[in-house]
Amino acid sequence: SIAILLYLARKFKTPDHWYPSDLQKRARVDEYLSWQHVSIRGKASKLFLTKMLLPMLTGQPVPPEKLEILTEELNVVLKQFEEKFLQDKPFIAGTEVSLADLVALVELMQ
C-alpha cells in the first residue's frame, strides 16, 4: 500500500532518495503515486480480469475486439508513463531510485 510505504519512509530515517526532502523531487514522487493507481493499475487490472477471470467465471471466451481495446488502453497509459514520468531519465524522480520507482516496478511486474 502507498500509505504504508509513505508511513515507513517518514517514520524511519530512510535514505533521502526513497522519499526526497527536496520538494520538487518529492512532488514528482507524489505525482506518480497519485497517478499510477488509476492509470497503470486500473488498465492492467481491467485487462487481466477480462482476459483471465471472466472466461473462467462465465465459461465464455471474451471477444478478441474487447481484448484489443483493453490492450490498447493499457498501451496508452504505458506510453504516458514513459513520456511523462521517465522522460529519458533512469528513474522517475531523477537520477536515483525512489518509492515511485518501486511502486512502478511492482505494477509492471504483475
Closest CA relative to residue 91, chosen from 7, 8, 18: 18
What are 94's strand-pairing partners? 91
C-alpha cell at 51: 482476459
Asked if residue 59 is part of any domain, the answer here is yes
Asked if residue 55 is part of any domain, the answer here is yes
C-alpha cell at 82: 514513459
pLDDT per residue, tens digit, the chain (110 aa), is 899 999 999 999 899 999 999 999 999 999 999 999 999 999 999 999 999 999 999 999 999 999 999 999 999 999 999 999 999 899 999 999 999 999 999 999 87
Sign of CA dihedral 24, 26, 32, 34: negative
pTM for the full model? 0.83
Asked if residue 79 is part of any domain, the answer here is yes
- Residue 47 is part of a domain; what is its CATH number? 1.20.1050.10
Terminal alpha carbon distance of the chain: 15
Tally of domains in the chain: 1
Asked if residue 22 is part of any domain, the answer here is no
> Residue 85 to residues 10, 64, 66, 107: CA-CA distances in angstroms?
23, 31, 28, 15
Range(s) of the domain holding residue 46? 41-110
Asked if residue 93 is part of any domain, the answer here is yes
